[in-house]
Amino acid sequence: AMHAPLGTLVRRGQAEGAFRSDQPEAWLLATCFALMHAYRDEVRAGRLRAEDAIPTLQATLRRVFQTDAGAAS
């Protein structure tokens, strides 16, 4: 259900230069969803504190989607 709207967002971000374009949209989406599931699993297993999960996931996803120009900042 979330793939279509997020796919639209990723395509727009890539077209505008806000998201990296060296990786296909489908791969970026798959990576995003895989990371969300991994973070959930880590919290459930007690290896990641619940209060750290969202900020940690946000930081990781920023790196997944950022352009080379974003990496310099």
Report how far residue 68's alpha carbon sits from residue 62's, in angstroms, rounded to the nearest whole number. Answer: 12
CA atoms of 22 and 60, how far apart (whole Å): 18
pLDDT of 2 reads 83
pLDDT string in tens for the chain (73-residue length): 788 999 999 999 999 999 999 999 999 999 999 999 999 999 999 999 999 999 999 999 999 999 986 665 5
What pLDDT shows up at residue 71?
Answer: 63
Do 3 and 29 contact (CB within 8 A), yes or no?
yes
**pLDDT for res 70:** 63
